Amino acid sequence: MGHILLKPSKDEDFYIYWSTVVDMPMAWGTRADLQTDPDFWTELAAEDRWERTDASGTSERFGSSSWDQDNHIRYGNYGYLRRSELKKLTDMFESLPEDAPESHPAILALLRPFED
């Protein structure tokens, strides 16, 4: 599949469509936003993905990115992002210029770098 849904907060209608291929967010917004996005709506049509995400915070079947895990999510080849920083990351993408690189210093400041 290569893509998962993440829900940073149990109480907010906000989701991130995350690529596990490039390890970065592909889209984010409300459920209605994502289900009507012409680039992703067919991939996000399966109701069971939304049910898993609403129940655990992730559409993954094995739940390693769920709310009850103190986990870090890989961000590209740069480092790990704490699950609690997911919304901050998408807010940062919204505030940066459209052509800002994925390695922008403000983004990298959110990460725990990989160990050598």
Torsions phi, psi of 57, nearest 5?
A: 95, -5
What does the pLDDT look like over 62-114, one tens digit per residue? 766 777 776 788 999 999 999 889 999 999 999 999 888 899 999 999 999 98
Q: Which domain holds residue 21?
A: 3-113
Torsions phi, psi of 37, nearest 5?
A: -70, 120
How many domains does the chain contain in total? 1
What does the pLDDT look like over 37-60, one tens digit per residue? 888 878 888 899 999 999 989 888
Report the distance separating Cα 84 and Cα 112, nearest Å: 13
Inter-residue contact 67 to 56 (CB < 8 Å): yes
pTM, rounded to two decimals: 0.90
Q: How confident is the model at residue 1 (pLDDT cuts 50, 70, 90)?
A: low
